Structure 1
Amino acid sequence: MLRRLSLAAAVAAATGVAWAAQPTPLPTKTDLISVYKEAVDNNADLAAAQADYLARKEVVPQARAGLLPQLGAGARVGDTRIAFDERPATVKRNSQVVQATLSQPLFRADRWFQWQAAKETSDQARLEFSATQQDLILRSAETYFTVLRAQDNLATSKAEEAAFKRQLDQANERFDVGLSDKTDVLEAQASYDTARANRLIAEQRVDDAFQALVTLTNRDYSAIEGMRHTLPVVPPAPNDAKAWVDTAVQQNLRLLASNYAVNAAEETLRQRKAGHLPTLDAVAQYQKGDNDALGFANSAANPLVHYGKYVDERSIGLELNIPIYSGGLTSSQVRESYQRLNQSEQSREGQRRQVVQDTRNLHRAVNTDVEQVQARRQAIISNQSSLEATEIGYQVGTRNIVDVLNAQRQLYAAVRDYNNSRYDYILDTLRLKQAAGTLSPADLEALSAYLKQDYDPDKDFLPPDLAKAAAEQLQSRPRQQY
């Protein structure tokens, strides 16, 4: 009996069930939102970025502290012994002093600009952390759909291996009855061996993809929900590259962070220039201690002035400091700040150009993906028809087995390309939104609406209508005998 090969037959053989059979109930699977939430709670990179942000925020109160009152207190205890050479006498003095000093900056331009720079740096850190959070949204989706892509490719590889196995069996049957030579068997065997090797690689990639989920979330997953083929594949809205670029220039988080970096550099330059300006502080001081320690020693030469053992001293005043020359330090710091400002401006411009480029490229990529999905879907139908025609030609002797094997490879390549184009569309759409600064968890929620809990890659890697049509063709096709 001569068995024709088809996509439906290969899938049935690969899964070990008939198309008409009911799907086996699968365990509860993890969805995209759950993976993202686990990543938010457990991802090490996000935790490190949060710690960095919280640490960088502290520059603001640290810089503000230089403008606030400074209060300090202290004490000193001394034991002084004085020996006189001219006469055999020694004077011993014990001193005890407590003191407190309060100072309030009145004019500190450098500290003021340092505070302004710190606020800009804090805002920069906030936006960079927000960008890292946005990166995690995209990374969660990329890791999730990498698993689905790997599973669909594995399912395709299984079906391809099954198809080549059937082709090998048929070649052996034809050889046994003298309808073909040994070359056909060897060609079929080589194709089958290659398909088997490809299936083993595909299995490894599935394991690698699941391991990436573990790295992302610190949690093991046995199964995840798959993407339905009914996901709308539509151009970006609005389908205007300039509109997306304008949005990206205004909202891209890393570009906005670079604006704050420039602002911080400008304030730092002002701070360095202020190093040439005078400073003015109000200072109040209180001291209490024995009279000798505070310099109020009783003198025998003036018995009319006598200090008690303890003396209180209070003072309040202004301290003016005028910098005249510091060895060229301040001038050097100003020159350095000019270059740092230039550096930050050039970095911002480079970031802006990259954002514009990425946005335009991703906008084109999404539109290309839309056309690719439609074209790849049609390619499956065309290659299936081509395979059937080639098989018929092989049966009547107008085509050889190499033609059949090549047609099979093209069919399964079309299936892989179709599924890859679907996932490319999903991820490129998310990347476009990230470039525009609009990506949020809501985008993952929208995708989750099209996830299928009972998704079985071995059956669902094909669109349902194509799978059904292939199954109907298989059932209606008469078996030929030779």
Structure 2
Amino acid sequence: MAETLRDALLAAYQSNPNLTAAREGQKAINEGVPLAKANGRPDVVAQPTYFENVLQDTGASVVQARGFNVNASVAAPLYAGGGIKNAVRAAENRVEAGFANLRGAESAIFSAVVGAYMDVIRDEAIVDLNRAQVGVLQVNLEATRDRFEIGDLTRTDVAQSEARLALAVSNMEAARANLIRSKEIYIQLVGRPPENLEAPPPLPNLPETPDSAVKVALDNNPDVIAARETREAAGYDRRAANAARLPTVSVFTQGSYSNALNSVSSNIPGFQADNSALNGQAGVRATIPLYQGGQPAAQVRQAQARLGQAQELEIAAEREAIAQTRASYASWRASLDVITSSERAVAANELSLEGTRAENSVGNRTILDILNAEQELLQSKVQLVTARRNAYVAGFSLLAAMGRAEARDLGLEGGALYDPVADFQKVEDAWNDWSSQADPQVKASRTVDTPAQKAEIEPLPQ
């Protein structure tokens, strides 16, 4: 059965460990929002205590042998200088940045899969071309030896044919090693060996000009979006840091209950001591920082520096996206031109080889001329195969730089796509201390049981 590029991308989408790990990492980032919101919610504490008085003054008027106390309090912040509000907003922006980084991870994995897929196709073709070249040179060598035996050619002609055959064999072995390497990288990314890969479908929505590509990239490139959201989060961190030197106000209520468990005894005649007591209070508490050793100012300066860093990194991400988009566009267009030129070269070299052989039969060309013509034809065919691979990979890289090389853009089928927003919404307003979920199970597939790859392939159709 043949395997398509969509099959490979879908397998990587479902089981590539780098991608599944990125999703788990995003879940950890999501929890930053409920953690920040928790600081603005009531804090309820109960502290029960049981004690035994193992040493006490025996001459005391009242003696208690044991007791049980319960202290409970409820406190809720009313004003925190904007620290909680800005911390929540910063966490929300980091979630958005995480969404963008997850898109970037997905795009990077897909780009690597496309590269590996095309590498296998290219290297299979190159192995087949080199194997065919070895066969041709073996026939040439046999013919050269036969003509040498009858005195039509010299020992030099035989040596030239032997040298070219030996070189072709070494090139074929090198091509086989490259194919094995490409197959192993494919397994690393996709999780299974490549089987009879089909030619990939045409890439959709490629831009007409580099400027139009850059315009799309600046709006959709996940790295640019992540840098923008990170800068927004750093701005909120800066505001939250300022809250450390502002007053805070909270409301509270607290109560206590104690019981001596009927262990109170008195040496005073007629005195009956109480064995229990209940107290309670409620109020408003303000905390006014007067001096904190310079810590708030240092926190503000630190947040300012990180904001400055995030601002510069946003520009860096924009620069990188522009450069990557323009470079990918140039590589894609150049590879298309190389394909056209290589197709012409293959046709011309085929005609040249045919003519050289004909001219050799009448003595106008030497064996070396035939060998050179065969080598040039092989090189042009290899260049054509490589150019087709480069054009497709460069085109996909261009789509990735534009932010259009993700699962939804490629229309992957085979089940519901992973929705990071849905995962975030499950925990965004979580407040229960005892809510829990099962520990994660491994989603990525292992490749330890896949066989070591070989370079044996079926010959290409003529």
Post-superposition CA distance 1:304-345 (Å, at most 9, x none): xx9732121111111111111111111111111111111111
Equivalent residues of 1:248, 1:356 under 8 A apart: yes
Distance 1:61 1:191 in 2: 70
Q: Distance in 2 between matches of 1:272 and 1:330?
A: 7
Counterpart residue number, 1:67: 40
CA–CA separation in structure 2 for the residues paired with 1:218 and 1:436 = 27
Q: Is 1:427 equivalent to 2:399 in the alignment?
A: no
For residues 414 and 267 of structure 1, do their structure 2 counterparts lie closer, same or farther at Cα, with a shift above 3 Å needed?
Answer: same
Q: Which residue of 1 aligns with 2:218?
A: 249
In the other structure, the counterpart of 1:265 is: 234
User: Residues of 2 paired with 1:237 and 1:31: CA distance?
Assistant: 21
Cα contact 2:63–2:266 (8 A) shared by 1: no
Give 1:403 shift.
2.2
Q: Using a 3 Å threshold, how does the CA distance of structure 1 residues 390 and 261 change in structure 2: closer, same or farther?
A: same
Amino acid aligned to 2:400: Q
Q: Residue 224 of structure 1: SS of its match in structure 2?
A: coil
Q: Is the 8 A contact 1:116 1:267 kept in 2?
A: yes
Q: Which residue, 176, 187, 199 being the options, matches 1:203?
A: 176
Distance (whole Å) between structure 2 residues aligned to residue 88 and residue 204 of structure 1? 94
Residue 92 of structure 1: how far off its partner (Å): 4.0
Aligned partners of 2:256, 2:267: CA distance in 1, in Å?
Answer: 22
**Aligned with 2:460: secondary structure?**
helix
2:337 pairs with 1:371: yes
Name the aligned partner's letter for residue 241 of structure 2. Answer: R
TM-score with structure 1 setting the length: 0.80
Q: Is the 8 A contact 1:99 1:287 kept in 2?
A: yes
1:276 and 2:245 correspond: yes
C-alpha separation between the residues in 1 aligned to 2:410 and 2:90? Answer: 37
SS for the counterpart of 2:67 is: strand
Q: Could you say if the C-alpha distance between residues 298 and 340 of structure 1 is closer, same or farther in structure 2, counting changes exceeding 3 Å?
A: farther
TM superposition score normalised by structure 2? 0.83
Q: CA deviation at 1:225?
A: 2.8
Deviations 1:225-261 (A, max 9, x none): 3318xx7699x74312111101101110111011111
Q: Closer, same or farther in 2 for the Cα pair 1:90/1:232, shift >3 Å?
A: closer
Whole-angstrom CA distance in 2 between matches of 1:136 and 1:362? 17
| Residue 97 of structure 1 pairs with residue 97 of structure 2 | no
Change beyond 3 A, Cα 1:442–1:389 = farther
Residue in structure 1 matched with residue 126 of structure 2 by the alignment: 153
Q: Could you tell me which residue of structure 2 aligns to residue 473 of structure 1?
A: none
SS at match of 2:365: coil
Correspondence list, 1:80-479, <5 A: 80=53, 81-83=55-57, 91-108=63-80, 109-221=82-194, 223-227=195-199, 237-290=206-259, 308-441=274-407, 458-460=459-461
CA-based RMSD of the aligned residues comes to 2.8
Q: Is the 8 A contact 1:103 1:284 kept in 2?
A: yes
The answer (yes or no) to whether the contact 2:26–2:102 under 8 Å persists in 1 is yes
Q: Is the 8 A contact 1:233 1:370 kept in 2?
A: no
Pair 442,420 (structure 1): closer, same or farther in 2 beyond 3 Å: farther
Could you tell which deviates more after superposition, 328-337 or 386-395? 386-395
Distance 1:233 1:107, change over 3 A: closer
Alpha-carbon contact 2:109-2:189 (below 8 Å) kept: no
Using a 3 Å threshold, how does the CA distance of structure 1 residues 382 and 88 change in structure 2: closer, same or farther? Answer: closer
The alpha carbon displacement at 1:194 in A equals 1.0
Aligned to 1:179, what secondary structure does the other structure show? coil
Higher radius of gyration, 1 or 2: 1
Match of 1:227, SS state, is coil
Per the TM alignment, residue 390 of structure 1 is displaced from its structure 2 partner at its CA by: 2.4
Return the offset for 1:99.
2.0
Q: CA deviation at 1:91?
A: 3.8
Letter in 2 for 1:62: L
| Structure 1: gaps (5+ residues) | 1-27, 447-455, 461-466, 468-482
Per the TM alignment, residue 423 of structure 1 is displaced from its structure 2 partner at its CA by: 1.3
Q: Contact 2:16/2:191 (CA < 8 Å) preserved in 1?
A: yes
Identity of matched residues, %: 21
Secondary structure, aligned partner of 2:23: helix
Instruction: Count the aligned residue pairs.
Output: 414
> C-alpha separation between the residues in 1 aligned to 2:359 and 2:125?
31
Change (3 A) 1:309 1:361: same
Amino acid at match of 1:33: R
Aligned counterparts of 2:408 and 2:69: Cα–Cα separation in 1: 67
CA separation in 2, counterparts of 1:203 and 1:173? 31
Unpaired stretches in structure 2, ≥5 consecutive residues: 413-456
Q: Would the aligned equivalents of 2:332 and 2:394 in 1 still touch at CA under 8 Å?
A: yes
Secondary structure, counterpart of 1:324 in structure 2: coil
Deviation of 1:415 (Å): 0.5
What is the alpha-carbon distance in structure 2 between the residues aligned to residue 177 and residue 407 of structure 1?
25
